[in-house]
Amino acid sequence: MLWMSLLLICVLGAMSPGPSLAVVLRQTVSNGRGHGILAGCAHALGVGLWAAMTVWGLGVLVNEYHLLYQVITWLGAAYLIWLGINALRFAAAPELEADARTKETLWQAARSGALISLLNPKLAVFFTALFSQFVTAGQTLSDQMILVLTATLVDGAWYSLVAILFSQPRLLIWLRRHLKRVEQLTGVVLIGLALRVAMP
């Protein structure tokens, strides 16, 4: 029963819209399904790292040392602004076509997914405030691994599903036809999220 509660919280946490969703969607629309899935899986590894660190006590550390949380917040905001500016720069290109522009490498897609999870203050809040409630002093290593794997696999499954759904041929053709507007919207959303994250 406890695991079902954890599963539900992880599902709701993964599905909540935010910068992670924007990054996976951008990789999918601009570079293809493989890039989107890889970004989602790399994001899941970052989530798994957050889960592992929470299980091993980082949640308590962040709660006690507010400066540490603030540093994570500022780094996350700076990365979101950088992503937003890049999206707007692509949108400003004179002839922006999906097949004409230089696609990002798979490594770049994976890096984007991993960094947005590691530098996302929303995840810091999620793991320190909610996920940590499932961590107890007497847990065995196998119990702890179940917690970490649940968070990791749920996140990876959700963002892989997002990449698969948004890479359907008809939808992808429409999105790529309006790629300039998609990039503009993504850039504005990412910068807006950064400002919201940075402001107390």
Stretch 107-117: mean pLDDT: 92
Asked if 23 contacts 114 with a C-beta cutoff of 8 angstroms, the reply is no
Question: pLDDT, tens digit, for every residue of 131-172?
Answer: 777 777 677 888 889 999 999 999 999 999 999 988 888 876
* Average pLDDT of the chain, as a whole number: 78
3-state secondary structure of 35: helix
pLDDT beyond 90 at 173: no
Q: Tens of pLDDT along 59-72?
A: 566 566 667 667 76
47: helix, coil or strand? helix
